[in-house]
A and B are shown apart, each in its own frame.
Chain A
Amino acid sequence: MGKNILIVDDEVEHIDFASTVLEESGYVPIIAMDGNEGMKKVRAEKPDLILLDILMPERSGIGMYHELKRDDETKNIPVVIVTGVARGGHFDDLIVRQGQDLPAPDGYIEKPMNAEAMLKMVDDLVS
C-alpha cells in the first residue's frame, strides 16, 4: 500500500498536476482546498507527508502549519511548504513561523512545481 500524501492547495491545476505525478509514482494523493478541510483530512487519513500551499486565501496555509506543529498527534508529520516565491531558507522560515516558537518546515518547493524535484523531496522525507 502506497504512502498517503496530503495536497493542500486552492488551485485546481496544481492539485491535478501534483496528484497525477504522485499517483504515477505509487503514492496515494489526498486533496484539500483549504486549511480547515486540510486539518480534517489530517485527522481522518493520517497522511505520511503534507504538501502545503501557504499562498491560499486568508493565510490558512500558515494557520494550518501552526496547528499541525502545536498538536502532539500531528507535529511529526513532515510538511513541505509550497510557495510562489522561495527567497531562501531563513527568510521563508520567518514567514512560516510568524514569530512563533515552532520547528522549521521540512522543505520548500516553488510553484509551479518541478515534478522531479518534488518527487525527490517527497521520497527522501517518507522513506
Chain B
Amino acid sequence: MSKLLLIDDEEPIRKILGLYLRSQGHEVHTAADGQTGLVLFEQERPPIVLTDIKMPGMDGIDVLKKIKEVSPETEVIVITGHGDMDLAVQSLQLDASDFITKPVGNMAISVALRRARERLETRRLLKEYTNNLELMVKEATEELRKVHDFQKNLIQNSIDGIIAADKGEVIVVFNQGSEALLGYAADEVVGKMHMDSIYPPGVGETINETLNAETYGGKNRLVNYENLLISKMGEEIPVRISGARLFEDGAVAGIVCFFQDLREVKRLQQELIQSERLSAIGQAVAGMAHYTKNILNGLQGGVYIVNTSLKKNKPDLLPKGWAMVEKNVGRVSDLVMNMLVYSKEREPDLVECSPNDIAQEVYDIMYQTLEAKLVMSRDLMEKRGVQLKVTEVKLVKDFDLSLSECHLDPSGVHRCLLNIVTNAIDACTMKSDKGKDFSVVIRTRKEDDSIKFEIADNGIGMTEEVQDKLFERFFSTKGPKGTGLGLLVTRKIVDEHGGNISFESAPGKGTTFTIRFPCGKESSNTKAPEG
C-alpha cells in the first residue's frame, strides 16, 4: 500500500514488525540505526517513517528532527519503551505524527499507520486544493483583466461619447467617441478639465438640477435627456444624455455620462419634415387638380348649353346654361378663397360689424342655392313628366336679435359660416334616406364676452373615425366633390380670431358645429384706471 521506513536497533523487532507490515501489503525498508535510516530516507523518500526512540548513536528524536527539517510533510511515528512518556511528549512537540509503545501490538501499529495515511491524504487534498485555488485565482485575475480590457475597449471604441468624472467633477475618462464629438484629445482633458467645461454656460447647472430631480429616470440618474454640449471650437452640439452619479459607501464618488450625437438625427428629422411637407403638397395638388377638373367640366357644360342656346336661337336654354356657369364660377371663387386663407398667415381684419348681418348673408346665399335646385327639379318634373324624389333641406334662422355689433373680421366669419353650412346641407342630401324632413339651423347667441354661432343639421352625422380625422389636411368624405380644405380653413380663421370651434355628432342623427369668437370690445377699449 505505501512505502515505509522502519528504524530500530533491535533486530527481532525489525524482523517481526517488518514481516507484519509486508504482510499488510507495505513496501518496507529497514535500518538498524539513525544514521543509516537517514541515508535510506534520502534514497527512498517514504511518506511514513517508523523510528525507535532509544538507539545508540543518533537517537529517534534526532532522526525525527532531521527528517522534519528536510521533509516536513513526512509522517514520523515514534516507538517508545514503556514509561518513556517524556520522550513521547517531546517527539509530539517536534511534530511526530503519533507514538506507539513497546511491545508493539499489531492493532496499535495498524491504527497509527491508518491515521498517518489519513493525515497524508488530507494534506495531499489540501495541497491540491491550494494549488487549484491558486490556479483559480490566476484564472480569475486573467478573466478580470480581460473584462477590464473589454470594458476599456468598449468605453474607448463606443461611438457614443463616454465621459466620467471623479467626485470633484474632474474628468477621468474621456473616450474616443468624446474626442470625435467634442474635438479635444483625451490627454488635454483627463485629469485637467472639469465636467462644466464641456457644457455651454448654464447647462451644467441644469444637468445637476435634473440629476437631483426625478424627471429623467429618477434621482441621480439621467435617461434620454436632451441638451447641448460645447465643443473645443465653441460649436453647440445637441446630444441625448444618459448618465448616473456613482456612489461609494453612500458618498458621491463621481459621475458617468453617455452622450449620443443628435446632429445627424436632427438633420434627418429636418429632412423627414421636408419630405412629408412635399408629399402633403403632392397630395394636395392631386386633390385640387381633380376638384378643379370637376369645376371645369361644370363650366364647360354651362358654356355648352349657352352655346347651344345661341346657335339654335333657343333663349329658354340661356338661363340654365348661365346658371351652371355662375354656379361653377362660385365654386372656383370659394376654392381660391379657401386656398388663400389656408396658405398664408394673416391677422384678422377686425372691424365693427353685426354678427347677425354676416349670418344673414350666408343664409341668403345658401337659401338661393337650395331654391335654385328646387326650381330646377320642379321644371324638370314638369317638362319630362316624371316624378322626382328630391331631398329638400329647410334652412332655418334662429338669430338673437339683441346682439350688438362687435369686433370681427366679417369676411373671415362669413367664410367659416359658409363652409359649415355647406357641409351641413351636404350632410342632409348625401346618400341619406329621402323623405326625411331635413333642416339646417343657423343660430346666433351671445355667451359671456363671446359671440356664438351654431349650425345644427339632422343629416347623416359622423362616425367616430370621421370625427377623428375631421381637421386633418385634405380629408374629405365627399370624394371628388370635396377639397378637404373647408374645415381646415374654418379652424384657421377661428384660431386667428382667438376663438374656438367644437362639434357634436352622432351617425344618423346629425351634427352641430359651434364657433365662438371673442367679441373684442374689451381688448380694443381698455378700461381707464379709476380716479
Stretch in A11-19, A68-76, A90-98, A99-107 with 4+ CB within 8 Å of B: A11-19
B390 within 8 A of A: yes
A89 within 8 A of B: no
A77 within 8 A of B: no
List chain A residues, Cβ under 8 A from B432: 57
Total contacts A-B at CB 8 Å = 66
Q: Hey, what's the 0/1 contact readout for B354-374 against A, CB within 8 Å counting as 1? A: 000000000000000000010
Cβ A24 vs Cβ B312 within 8 A: yes
A33-B320 CB under 8 A given contacts A13-B376, A16-B376, A19-B384: no
| Interface size counted on chain B using CB atoms at 8 A | 29
Contact residue range for chain A?
20 to 34
Question: Would you give the shortest CB distance from B160 to chain A, in whole angstroms?
Answer: 51
Q: A112–B327 Cα gap in the complex (Å)?
A: 13
B224 within 8 A of A: no
CB within 8 A of A29: which of B320, B384, B431, B480? Answer: B384
Cβ A17 vs Cβ B324 within 8 A: yes
List chain A residues, Cβ under 8 A from B320: 16, 20
Question: Which B residues, 48 to 65, have Cβ-Cβ distances below 8 Å to chain A?
Answer: none
Question: Which B residues, 298 to 314, have Cβ-Cβ distances below 8 Å to chain A?
Answer: 298, 300-301, 304-305, 308, 312, 314
Q: A15–B379 Cα gap in the complex (Å)?
A: 12
Q: A115–B481 Cα gap in the complex (Å)?
A: 19
A114-B376 CB under 8 A given contacts A17-B324, A57-B431: no
Q: A112–B301 Cα gap in the complex (Å)?
A: 8
Q: A21–B297 Cα gap in the complex (Å)?
A: 14
A12-B377 CB under 8 A given contacts A31-B388, A33-B388: yes
Cβ A113 vs Cβ B388 within 8 A: no
Cβ A112 vs Cβ B297 within 8 A: yes
Cβ B380 vs Cβ A16 within 8 A: yes
A116 within 8 A of B: yes
Interface centre among A12, A85, A114 (most CB of B within 10 A): A12
List chain B residues, Cβ under 8 A from A112: 294, 297-298, 301
CB within 8 A of A31: which of B294, B305, B384? Answer: B384
List chain B residues, Cβ under 8 A from A12: 373, 376-377, 380, 388, 390
Question: Would you give the shortest CB distance from B329 to chain A, in whole angstroms?
Answer: 14
List chain B residues, Cβ under 8 A from A32: 386
B201 within 8 A of A: no
List chain B residues, Cβ under 8 A from A24: 305, 308, 312, 314, 317
Q: A30–B380 Cα gap in the complex (Å)?
A: 11
Cβ B301 vs Cβ A113 within 8 A: yes
List chain A residues, Cβ under 8 A from B314: 24
Q: A17–B323 Cα gap in the complex (Å)?
A: 11
CB within 8 A of B480: which of A15, A30, A85, A114? Answer: A85
CB within 8 A of B300: which of A16, A19, A29, A114? Answer: A114
List chain A residues, Cβ under 8 A from B304: 21, 115-116
List chain B residues, Cβ under 8 A from A115: 300-301, 304-305
Cβ B297 vs Cβ A114 within 8 A: yes
A31-B386 CB under 8 A given contacts A12-B373, A112-B301, A113-B297: yes
14 further contact pairs, Cβ within 8 A, besides A24-B308, A32-B386, A112-B294: A12-B390, A13-B373, A16-B380, A19-B384, A20-B317, A21-B305, A24-B312, A24-B314, A31-B380, A33-B389, A57-B431, A114-B297, A114-B300, A115-B301
4 residue pairs, one from A and one from B, having the closest CB atoms: A115-B304, A112-B297, A57-B431, A12-B377
